[in-house]
Amino acid sequence: MFWLREDQIKINSNEKYEINENRSDNLIEYKLLIKNILPSDDGYYICTSINQYGSSITKFQLRVIDLKIYFIRRLILYGSILIGISLCFILIVFALINHYRQNKDQRIRKKSSTTDETISSLAKQQEHIQHDYQDETNSSVDQCLIHEQLIQNHINVIFYLIEIFL
């Protein structure tokens, strides 16, 4: 039994390679141990066994991965995924903020139109009250009631404006 590299160089036990043979019952096990693996050890290894019944050839591939390059590739891959997820999250937040602002603007416009209508209605009421106050010669009790209505009307306008802006 012997081991070869793909370039047909025979491998012997030395400080780089250790070849072991284990025999038990009807089984013989051969092992090739490669010490201090380097990128130059990458490639195919061939185990050839010959006996009175014939021969057997088995080819193994050893792939040596440089850990620095491996980790850099993984860092780039997972970093890109993380950046993509972060950008999606930011875009969703901006879309929600924009949606909220548009709805708020619509509510303000709606309240504003309602406010304009309410203010004009309250102004008409105030004109009628003032007109009634000026044209009628009522008793002092009636005049107090009219003053009270004017003050209440002003208070209603102020409360309505405060409610809109809060």
- The pLDDT, as a whole number, for residue 67 is 78
Q: Which of 146-154's residues contact partners 24+ apart within 8 Å by CB, and which partners?
A: 150/126, 153/122, 153/125, 153/126, 153/129, 154/126
Q: How sure is the predictor about 138, in pLDDT bands with cuts at 50, 70 and 90?
A: low
Identify the CATH homologous superfamily for domain 2-64.
Immunoglobulins (2.60.40.10)
| Residue written as token pair 């039994």 | 1
Determine how many CB atoms are found less than 10 A away from the CB of residue 98.
Answer: 10
Q: Rounded to an integer, what distance in angstroms lies between the CA atom of residue 159 and that of residue 31?
A: 93
Task: Select from 27, 26, 33 the least CA-distant residue to 3.
Answer: 33
Residue 3 clears pLDDT 80, i.e. is over it: yes
Q: Tell me the mean pLDDT in the region 83-95.
A: 88
Q: Tell me the mean pLDDT in the region 76-101.
A: 87
Q: Which has more pLDDT, 152 or 19?
A: 19
Domain residue spans in the chain? 2-64, 69-165
pLDDT in tens, 11-66: 988 999 999 888 888 888 889 999 988 888 999 999 988 888 899 999 999 998 87
- The pLDDT, as a whole number, for residue 29 is 86
